[in-house]
Structure 1
Amino acid sequence: MRWVALTAIAPVAWGTNYFVTHEFLPADRPLYGAALRALPAGLVLLALRRQRPHGAWWWRSAVLGLLNMSVFFVLVYAASQLLPTSVASTVMAMSPLTMMLIAWPLASERPRAAHLAGAAIGLCGVCLMVLTGVEGVSVPGVLASAAAMLVSSFGYILAKRWSGSADVLASTSWQLIAGGVFLLPVAAAVEGPPPPLSTPTVLAFGYVALIATALAFTAWFTGLRHLPAGTVGLIGLLNPVTGVLLGTAVAGEVLTVQQLGGLVLILAGVVLGRPKRTSRRDSSRSSSPRVSDQPPAPPPATRNP
């Protein structure tokens, strides 16, 4: 359960990121916002674990940084500007099922029935929590949100497949730095000079980079390394839960009976996706050598005639 608790840090931090970004970061600079989120976070992790990529990790870091950081951050920003948070959260709630289907051919993880049931129940719970009224829907916004969900799901499973013996802190830093390096020249070409940074904006960028990015992605990729993709995807449903609860705590919103029912369904979906526990008897059997695995006994000594 420790890996589940560690992984849960990521969606909880991402849930707070919506509020911080909306309230304190410039709304008209999505490319700079994504670059200033990724690059400082990657440099901090690199300072903590001073390792450079080696071998195939040079191009793997570039691919994962482009998918998980550059493209994903920009698409999420665009979706948050074009869609109500409720609609964007509902589209992103398809991520657990998408990750399971992608992990089947890429990571050889066949989805369990419990994972599929948890994804369906969790999606229903998200709809109950966030779809509380009739809101306008932007087709480009829905497409951006769906593209963000697909890109991130594919990138996460690639990271799980390629993780191997690479250090989690180091590989996460490589992805973030690559993503920031990709974004900076594009931001300069499209958005011009960097936005002015007031004290609240700097503090908000610090929170987004250190907590909602460096810490969150380290926890997320650690979970992907130790847990099935279906379990990690279902834990991600805590993201919209955090957003709704934060709105209740900060904005004084009141949870309705419908939202409380959705919260119960989401938690039930997460519980269904928890990894199976192995009994001590099973673990002792798997750890003890089988008779056929033991080396053959040496032949009896014979006297020379």
Structure 2
Amino acid sequence: MAAHRTTLVAVTALAPVSWGTTYAVTTELLPPDRPLFTGLMRALPAGLLLLALARVLPRGAWWWKATALGALNIGAFFPLLFLSAYRLPGGLAAVVGSVGPLFVVALSALLLGQRPTTRTVLTGAAAALGVSLVVLKAAGALDPLGVLAAVAATASMSTGTVLTKRWGRPEGIGPLALTAWQLTAGGLLIAPLALLVEGAPPALDAPAAGGYLYLALANTALAYWLWFRGIGRLTATQVTFLGPLSPLTAAVVGWAALGETLTPLQLAGMTLAFGATVAGQLTARPTPTRTATPTPAPTPVPTPAPARGRPAAPSARRPRPSDAHAGHRRP
């Protein structure tokens, strides 16, 4: 059981690790200053592909539930995330995003009835501190709109994570269909905004086409399927504590592929954030469901068998004195 849970956590962790490569792909391969178009190209093609594979549409209340989750996890999160990344210096958007576990702890208490523990809160604070040491650099004045967008993006994704856990999935529906619904709904919400703000799509060269293909397939379709699959099998707090792996991966990719340097302070921050991520899996075990203890049935009193050769006495007949003495005979 422990080995299965460890494997599930490791597979779910591939999602934030994949998201950590988004920055390098965006800066090296994609057209500049197109955050909404990039969000659209991540979400809508991936959603339509998964929808074609799942071949099932929402029913009943799940039309509005899937739309709400798609708006929180994709439609609002992607534009707010890119807006904060473009307006905030020194990785501050990643620092704000790293407080996601604390958002989820608070929302889980309100919506899931999971009482936060001091250890969980301290672990979330340690994760945020570790990420801060890795990505935060000296910079000029902060942009209020960028800070607001970063906080809103974190709150949106955290709320979507908790509601995904609370609502679960319709009976007979797997995580593939649920992921398809959310990505499609989110992409359709981003499409008119991208057209209105950024205009017509830009011309794409081969590297840009390859970058968008990677973002749509591996970075979004596969990663979000693993993410929502993990939410269905782990606690919301466990899943969100994997989030700091995204900026840590971005730092490692920047060092390995883009020639960026890692200072001793950044390495210490990576160690702290990774340790908090592991601790988040150890301190956020699912609460066992309590079941009512059944009341034991009364033990039936055996009825003495009738003597051989005699018919059983009718239940309505008044017992005779000889019957009462018969039960006390010595062998």
- How far, CA to CA, are the matches of 2:45 and 2:296 in structure 1? 54
| 2:251 is the counterpart of 1:247 | no
- How far, CA to CA, are the matches of 2:81 and 2:284 in structure 1? 35
| 2:216 is the counterpart of 1:209 | yes
Q: 2:196 aligns with which of 165, 171, 189?
A: 189
Deviation at 1:110, TM superposition (A): 1.7
- How far, CA to CA, are the matches of 2:199 and 2:271 in structure 1? 46
Higher-Rg structure is 2
Between 204-213 and 126-135, the greater mean CA deviation after superposition: 126-135
| 2:145 is the counterpart of 1:144 | no
Between 198-207 and 125-134, the greater mean CA deviation after superposition: 125-134
Q: Is the 8 A contact 2:47 2:221 kept in 1?
A: yes
Q: 1:119 aligns with which of 116, 124, 133?
A: 124
Between 83-92 and 259-268, the greater mean CA deviation after superposition: 83-92
- How far, CA to CA, are the matches of 2:237 and 2:302 in structure 1? 56
Q: Normalising to structure 2: TM-score of the pair?
A: 0.82
Q: 1:56 aligns with which of 54, 61, 69?
A: 61
Secondary structure of the residue that 2:216 maps to in structure 1? helix
Pairwise mapping of residues 83-122 of structure 1 onto structure 2 (< 5 A)?
Answer: 83-122=88-127
Query: Partner letter of residue 277 of structure 2?
Result: V
CA distances 1:46-86 after superposition (whole Å, capped 9, x unpaired): 23322211121111111111111111111111111112352
Deviation at 1:201, TM superposition (A): 1.2
Query: Partner letter of residue 269 of structure 2?
Result: G
Deviation at 1:275, TM superposition (A): 3.9
**Greater relative contact order (Cα < 8 A, sep 6+):** 1
Query: Partner letter of residue 62 of structure 2?
Result: W
- How far, CA to CA, are the matches of 1:275 and 1:105 in structure 2? 22
**Aligned residue for 1:169?**
176
**Aligned residue for 2:36?**
31
- How far, CA to CA, are the matches of 2:272 and 2:282 in structure 1? 18
**Aligned residue for 2:84?**
79
User: Relative to 1, partners in 2 of residues 1:97 and 1:35: Cα closer, same or farther, differing over 3 Å?
Assistant: same
- How far, CA to CA, are the matches of 2:294 and 2:282 in structure 1? 28
Q: 2:225 aligns with which of 207, 218, 223?
A: 218
| 2:165 is the counterpart of 1:160 | yes
Secondary structure of the residue that 2:297 maps to in structure 1? coil
**Aligned residue for 2:317?**
none
Structure 1 gap segments, 5+ residues each: none
Secondary structure of the residue that 2:237 maps to in structure 1? helix
Q: Is the 8 A contact 2:84 2:149 kept in 1?
A: yes
User: Relative to 1, partners in 2 of residues 1:134 and 1:85: Cα closer, same or farther, differing over 3 Å?
Assistant: closer
Q: Normalising to structure 1: TM-score of the pair?
A: 0.89
**Aligned residue for 1:180?**
187
- How far, CA to CA, are the matches of 1:258 and 1:33 in structure 2? 33
**Across the two proteins, how many residue pairs are aligned to each other?**
297
Flag the structure with higher helix content.
1
Deviation at 1:293, TM superposition (A): 3.6
Deviation at 1:126, TM superposition (A): 1.1
Q: Identity of counterpart residues, as a percentage?
A: 41
Q: 2:49 aligns with which of 31, 44, 49?
A: 44
Query: Partner letter of residue 268 of structure 2?
Result: G
**Aligned residue for 2:321?**
none
Q: Is the 8 A contact 1:68 1:156 kept in 2?
A: yes
CA distances 1:89-121 after superposition (whole Å, capped 9, x unpaired): 111111110111011111222223332121111
CA distances 1:20-67 after superposition (whole Å, capped 9, x unpaired): 122222233332222111111112222332221112111111111111
Pairwise mapping of residues 222-241 of structure 1 onto structure 2 (< 5 A)?
Answer: 222-241=229-248
